[in-house]
Structure 1
Amino acid sequence: MEKITNLKDLLIEQIRELYNAEKQQQHALPKLKEKAEARELKLAIQYHLAETADHITRLEKVFQQLEVASFGEESEAMQKLIKEGYDLVERSSDPEVLDASIIAAMQYMEHFEMAGYGTACTYANELGLREIAEQLHFTLDEEKKIDEKLTEMAIAKINQKAKSPVIV
Structure 2
Amino acid sequence: MNNTLGNLRELFVQQSLQLFDTTMREQSELPYVAKNISTPELKELVQKKLRSSKDTGDFLQEVFHTMEIRHEVEKGIYCECILTHAEALIDRSKDPYVCDAVILNALQQLCHNNIASLGSLASYAREIGQKEIAFSFEGLSAEEGNIDKELARLAKHSINRKASFSIM
The normalised TM-score by structure 2 is: 0.94
Unaligned regions of 5+ residues in structure 2, if any? none
Cross-structure match for 1:40:
41
Instruction: Give the Cα–Cα distance (whole angstroms) in 2 for the partners of residues 164 and 74 of structure 1.
Output: 39
Separation (CA, whole Å) in 2 of partners of 1:78 and 1:97: 21
Percent identity for Structure 1 against Structure 2: 31
The answer for the alignment partner of 1:126 in structure 2 is 127
- In structure 2, what residue type is equivalent to 1:98? C
Q: Is the 8 A contact 1:85 1:106 kept in 2?
A: no
Structure 1, unpaired ranges of 5+: none
Q: What is the distance in 1 between the residues matched to 2:122 and 2:81?
A: 24
Partner of 1:97: 98
The amino acid of 2:145's aligned partner reads K
| C-alpha deviation, 1:166, in angstroms | 4.8
Match of 1:81 in 2: 82
After the TM superposition, which parts of structure 1 deviate over 3 Å for at least 4 consecutive aligned residues?
none
Separation in structure 1 between the aligned mates of residue 64 and residue 136 of structure 2, nearest angstrom:
12
The alpha carbon displacement at 1:87 in A equals 1.6
In structure 2, the partner of 1:22 is 23
Q: By how many angstroms is 1:4 displaced?
A: 1.4
1:147 counterpart letter in structure 2: D
Q: Alpha-carbon deviations, 1:117-168, whole Å to 9, x = none?
A: 111111111112101101111111111111111101111111110110157x
What residue is the counterpart of 1:54 in the other structure?
A: 55
1:71-111 alpha-carbon deviations (Å, 9 max, x no partner): 22222221112111212222221011111111011112111
Letter aligned with residue 97 of structure 2:
E
**More deviation, 102-111/6-15:** 102-111
1:135 & 1:20 partners in 2: Cα distance? 19
Instruction: State the partner residue of 2:150.
Output: 149
RMSD (CA atoms): 1.3
The equivalent residue for 2:73 is 72
Tell whether the 8 Å contact from 2:48 to 2:147 is kept in structure 1 after alignment. no
Checking the alignment, whether the CA contact within 8 Å between 1:21 and 1:78 is kept in structure 2 is yes
Partner of 1:163 in structure 2? 164
2:114 maps to 113
